[in-house]
Structure 1
Amino acid sequence: MKKYAFLFPGQGAQVPGMIKDICDAYPEARKVVDEVSKITGVNMAELLWESDAAVLSRSDNSQLAITTASLAVIKVLESKGIKPSAVMGFSLGEFPALYAAGVLSFEDVIKVVRKRGQIMQATCEKIAKENEGHAPGMTAVIGLSPEQVTAITKDIKDAYPANLNSPVQTVVSGTADALTELEAKAKEAGARRALRLAVAGPFHSPLMQEAADNFEKALADFTFNNPDKILFSNVTGKQAKDAAEIKKNAVLHLTNPVRWTDEEKVLNDLIADDKDNEWELIEPGVGSVLSGLWAKSGYGEEIKCVSVNSAETLANY
């Protein structure tokens, strides 16, 4: 029997014109775009297809756009009889995963993502204003293990491992001074590159605590359900089964690292233990970052991960 795991991409995957070809080819995808417009009051067709990269890069826009794209693709896959048995998402991608796992309704996941994007954008703008020309941010360290990078950050004030992407790539959040120190020490330790990222803020670190506090208040009005599919958590790197824990982790998510390498291992172990079924991994929505990380994880030789991000790739199913 064929089983599927869906891996949902995070912020940064957005591109102008995203999923236009899919919506032209599949009415169910266009219906998602229209429904999100009704729920939010945002003209999603205009945001997705007429905005430039700068407009789409804002957290309040990109988070809604990427989530809409992921939901549109999974609706098309569903119409083809393809449903996931397991789901996980990278950072923002955890929210379409919550929908796919039955934790949040369609309307609620859109409202939650809208709130999250607005709150994060406001916090990033405040941080930038308070630190004009010297704002906190994120640096990608390439060529060192997550353990090596974590060890380096322990000796640097206000530097925090934020995205544990792969065995040789870790993203660190921190103040401007902390990241400058990190970049020098990482290169001394043998990193191939230490690249400052063009992001709006120091995501997944304690520097986002104000956003987490505001998001916790915003979530008070939403009901989370126990998942009806296998669901993994960025915060723990493990399977998540309890609605209350999942809701708590949605808040912790903003100030804690994305333990993606842990999630990949747990998913791979799950698949390895399932001798009776053949598994395929699908990255639904925009881009191919997670497919690339999976290919480099050491697990990709046995199990493929396919980016489904166009009408052409959807036509293969």
Structure 2
Amino acid sequence: MAVKYAFFFPGQGAQAPGMVKDVAESFSSAKKVIDDISSIVNLDIAKLLWESDAAELSRSDNSQIAITAASLALMAALKDQGIEPSAAMGFSLGEFPALYAAGVLSFEDVIKVVRKRGLIMQAVCEEIAAKNEGHAPGMTAVLGLSPEKVKEITAGIKDAYAANMNSEKQTVVSGTFDALAAVESAASAAGARRAVRLKVAGPFHSPLMQDAAVEFEKAIADVKFSNPVIKLFSNVTGKECVSGEEAKKSAVLHLTHPVLWTDEESCLGAVMKADGFENWAALEVGPGKVLSGLWSGTEYSANLSVLPVNTVESLNEISKN
């Protein structure tokens, strides 16, 4: 039986200057993806990926299209080697490459949608900062406390929200600059191992992004979302997404609702277990290895690891197996 692949796509914060440069230089299909994206959005994606500094890449209007370009370029390189997904899930922004992988969005549409999303979210983040004396909103990862404890802390702090359910010991909070400072202090007092401000430009997956959700809903009104052709899992529900209609609604709710990543991991893990772990392989397709690390803390990691794929070396390793 041929191995089935599950693709995991990372979100904002995974970006790094120079990402996938070696892949684009070694795989013409990957370079073509980057060139095609440049044409669609009228932006030099190669320059953005390889000549930007970390601060420039952290802006939502830059990071979202850059990470998507990196993930799709890697998908093209994997396809060259006969590796295509039977299941897909993406963390936050990564849900959009997953929608493309699952056949829900066309190549051109996913690029246009991600570009609009990044521009809208960046504008809203700048508006929030302007209302807070220039202090940028953002997100903080709280490590070492349960999700329930983090929710308890945020419930007592204005403009702070538990946004990403990463694991039983890691929850990300969204909020204004002052709200995050209060969360970090309260988390430390509650015994958190660390509270780390993330390299993102806004308070994503929280009610603070409601204005962005309104604008984004308008922006995608005429975009076709097809039914998934492979198994696809949703950040919003934490379950399998079975229709294009559901995917389109979730794409809007995505901006203001938490990322239920631990629930998604459980759903995919259950599918793999029922099918036989020996029939599956799992790849993190995009910059970084955050999702591989999160999976390692699940009950399924003893049976199957998620392998990061973001360099020529890692692509070559996969092709050997």
TM-score range, shorter chain: over 0.9
Tell me the residue number matched to 1:44.
45
Q: Check conservation: 1:139, 1:196, Cα contact below 8 A.
A: yes
Question: CA distance change for structure 1 residues 135 and 48 in 2, over 3 Å: closer, same or farther?
Answer: closer
Question: Which 10-residue stretch deviates more, 76-85 or 274-283?
Answer: 274-283
Tell me the residue number matched to 1:230.
231
Render the CA deviation track for 1:160-181: whole Å, top value 9, x for unaligned: 1111111100011123343333
Question: CA distance change for structure 1 residues 54 and 137 in 2, over 3 Å: closer, same or farther?
Answer: closer
Q: Check conservation: 2:120, 2:212, Cα contact below 8 A.
A: yes
Render the CA deviation track for 1:72-101: whole Å, top value 9, x for unaligned: 111111121111111000000000000000
* SS of alignment partner, residue 85 of structure 1: strand
CA distance in 2, matches of 1:46, 1:275: 43
Q: Check conservation: 1:9, 1:289, Cα contact below 8 A.
A: yes
One-letter amino acid of the structure 2 residue matched with residue 290 of structure 1? L
Q: Check conservation: 1:5, 1:279, Cα contact below 8 A.
A: yes
Q: Check conservation: 1:3, 1:277, Cα contact below 8 A.
A: no
Q: In the TM superposition, what is the alpha-carbon distance from 1:43 to its structure 2 partner?
A: 0.9
* SS of alignment partner, residue 245 of structure 1: helix
What is the TM-score with the length of structure 2 in the denominator? 0.95
* SS of alignment partner, residue 213 of structure 1: helix
Tell me the residue number matched to 1:275.
276
* SS of alignment partner, residue 191 of structure 1: coil
Alignment of 1:292-303 (within 5 A): 292-303=293-304
Render the CA deviation track for 1:236-268: whole Å, top value 9, x for unaligned: 110001111110110110101111111111111
Tell me the residue number matched to 1:171.
172
Tell me the residue number matched to 1:132.
133
Aligned residues: 317
Render the CA deviation track for 1:197-236: whole Å, top value 9, x for unaligned: 3432111100010011000000012010010000000001
1:21 aligns with 2:22: yes
Question: CA distance change for structure 1 residues 96 and 160 in 2, over 3 Å: closer, same or farther?
Answer: same
Question: Which 10-residue stretch deviates more, 31-40 or 139-148?
Answer: 139-148
* SS of alignment partner, residue 161 of structure 2: strand
Tell me the residue number matched to 2:221.
220
Q: In the TM superposition, what is the alpha-carbon distance from 1:194 to its structure 2 partner?
A: 2.2
Q: In the TM superposition, what is the alpha-carbon distance from 1:190 to its structure 2 partner?
A: 2.1
* SS of alignment partner, residue 148 of structure 1: helix
One-letter amino acid of the structure 2 residue matched with residue 243 of structure 1? G
Q: In the TM superposition, what is the alpha-carbon distance from 1:280 to its structure 2 partner?
A: 1.0
Q: In the TM superposition, what is the alpha-carbon distance from 1:57 to its structure 2 partner?
A: 1.4
Q: Check conservation: 1:167, 1:297, Cα contact below 8 A.
A: no
Q: Check conservation: 2:25, 2:31, Cα contact below 8 A.
A: yes
CA distance in 2, matches of 1:268, 1:218: 34
* SS of alignment partner, residue 223 of structure 2: coil
* SS of alignment partner, residue 149 of structure 2: helix
CA distance in 2, matches of 1:218, 1:13: 26
* SS of alignment partner, residue 172 of structure 1: strand
CA distance in 2, matches of 1:210, 1:276: 43
Unaligned stretches of 5+ residues in structure 1: none
Runs of 4+ in 1 over 6 A off after TM superposition: none
* SS of alignment partner, residue 194 of structure 1: strand
Tell me the residue number matched to 2:105.
104
Q: Check conservation: 2:140, 2:180, Cα contact below 8 A.
A: yes
1:260 aligns with 2:237: no
Unaligned stretches of 5+ residues in structure 2: none
Q: Check conservation: 2:162, 2:172, Cα contact below 8 A.
A: yes
Render the CA deviation track for 1:125-164: whole Å, top value 9, x for unaligned: 1111121244432221110111221233223332211111
One-letter amino acid of the structure 1 residue matched with residue 263 of structure 2? D
Question: CA distance change for structure 1 residues 45 and 199 in 2, over 3 Å: closer, same or farther?
Answer: closer
Alignment of 1:1-317 (within 5 A): 1=1, 2-275=3-276, 278-316=279-317, 317=319
One-letter amino acid of the structure 2 residue matched with residue 213 of structure 1? V
